[in-house]
């Protein structure tokens, strides 16, 4: 990954509602909006969730009724065969395909379709899963929602145990949508200082402002859910961006990257032509005869700034004029 460019992951997730055609359309829109990666979710239902697992509160609210997680997810997952077709489609239109595996079988399947892993927050304490990810040697992006620092350390240790060194840690708050009071963007600095890896942000807030702020604070990766329509039925649509919002986000990120620029403080090329206009010089505040002493009564500072700098004020005081000066004329020595 280019360290000077924010990697933008358009998270389609399961917002295709189990439709391959809808998934392809989302990939196309992500490409048109300027995303680097369109990301999906891959799972074997029986390996992902037990029949006793309940839906999250936000899922109940967004779907409008209650069912088991297994029943909900059975309507949303694509088959392995469909993912092969989807990856080929992404390749054909020029956008990087990525899918998060939610079980070990899906890791085995996906490692032939992609050379990068995105580990979701819910798998950060799944030792067998992390170990299989690490064994591939691929770069890893790992979300840290719901995590204690100790848990992040333990997950990183597992990844490194098999030689994984290219790791990006995403700050994340696992709530949909995330209340602004629980975003805690400053944690990005904490993670950077603690681990020394590249840092990013997986954004579950409404709108685009927090992702833009994260980029300004140094996020190297931004992940954001998107949907074709927030009113579609499904657990994640309401906390996702619609295509016009995704485009605004990506355009905004690219502008911020450009604006962040260099860390060296010096006049820019465009500033240099304005210095003489905006700054001041030492000038005569009245007519001064040759031989007169420069005093606070006969010199002052005025624009333009192409004469002697006012920072030389004390050096000028007490010297004698070597020629006549008219009022407002630049003082020369």
Residues paired with 143 in a beta bridge? 170
Which CATH architecture fits 265-333? Answer: Alpha-Beta Complex (3.90)
pLDDT at 1: 44
State the virtual CA torsion across 184, 188, 194, 197 in degrees, nearest 10.
Answer: 160
pLDDT at 49: 73
Structure confidence by residue, pLDDT tens digits, 123-169: 999 999 999 999 999 999 999 999 999 999 999 999 999 999 999 99
The secondary structure of residue 282, as a DSSP letter, is E
* Apex 240 CA angle, 86 and 79, nearest 5: 25
- Among 285, 274, 289, CA closest to 329: 285
Looking at per-residue pLDDT, the higher value among 73 and 99 belongs to 99
pLDDT at 4: 76
State the virtual CA torsion across 222, 247, 207, 13 in degrees, nearest 10.
Answer: -60
Confidence at 35, pLDDT banded by 50, 70, 90? very high
Sheet holding 7-13, edge to edge: 96-101, 37-42, 7-13, 221-225, 198-203, 167-172, 140-143, 117-119
How far apart, in whole angstroms, are the C-alpha atoms of residue 19 and residue 178? 27
Domain boundaries, the chain: 7-260, 265-333
Looking at per-residue pLDDT, the higher value among 242 and 66 belongs to 242
Give yes or no for residue 47 having a pLDDT over 80. no
Structure confidence by residue, pLDDT tens digits, 251-261: 999 999 999 99
Give yes or no for residue 54 having a pLDDT over 80. no
Buried b (16+ CB within 10 A) or exposed e, 203-222: bbbbebebbbbbbeeebbbb
Copy the structure tokens of residue 186.
């400053």
CATH number for 7-260 (one of 3.50.50.60, 3.40.50.300, 3.20.20.10, 3.20.20.70): it is 3.20.20.70
């Amino acid at each position: 990954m280019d360290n000077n460019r924010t990697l933008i992951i358009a998270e389609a997730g399961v917002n295709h509602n189990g439709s391959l055609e809808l998934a392809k359309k989302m990939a196309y829109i992500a490409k048109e909006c300027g995303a680097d990666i369109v990301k999906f979710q891959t799972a074997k239902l029986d390996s992902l969730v037990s029949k006793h697992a309940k839906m999250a509160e936000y899922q109940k609210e967004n779907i409008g009724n209650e069912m088991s997680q297994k029943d909900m997810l059975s309507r949303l997952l694509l088959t392995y065969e469909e993912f092969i077709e989807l990856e080929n489609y992404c390749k054909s239109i020029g956008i990087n395909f990525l899918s998060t595996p939610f079980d070990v079988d899906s890791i085995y399947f996906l490692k032939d379709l992609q050379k990068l892993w995105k580990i979701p927050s819910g798998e950060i304490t799944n030792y067998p899963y992390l170990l299989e990810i690490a064994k591939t040697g691929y770069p890893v992006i790992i979300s840290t929602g719901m995590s204690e620092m100790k848990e992040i350390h333990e997950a990183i240790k597992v990844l490194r145990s098999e030689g994984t060194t290219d790791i990006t840690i995403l700050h994340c708050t696992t709530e949909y949508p995330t209340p602004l009071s629980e975003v805690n963007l400053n944690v990005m600095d904490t993670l950077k200082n603690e681990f020394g890896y590249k840092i990013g942000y997986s954004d579950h807030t409404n709108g685009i402002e927090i992702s833009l702020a994260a980029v300004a604070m140094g996020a190297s990766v931004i992940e954001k859910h998107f949907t074709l329509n927030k009113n579609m039925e499904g657990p994640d649509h309401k906390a996702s961006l619609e295509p016009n919002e995704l485009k605004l986000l990506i355009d905004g990120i690219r502008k911020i990257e450009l604006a962040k620029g260099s860390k060296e403080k010096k006049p820019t090329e465009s500033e240099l032509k304005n210095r003489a206009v905006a700054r001041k010089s030492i000038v005569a505040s009245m007519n001064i005869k040759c031989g007169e002493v420069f005093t606070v009564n006969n010199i002052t500072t005025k624009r333009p700034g192409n004469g002697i700098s006012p920072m030389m004020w004390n050096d000028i005081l007490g010297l004698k004029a070597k020629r006549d000066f008219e009022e407002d004329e630049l003082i020369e020595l």
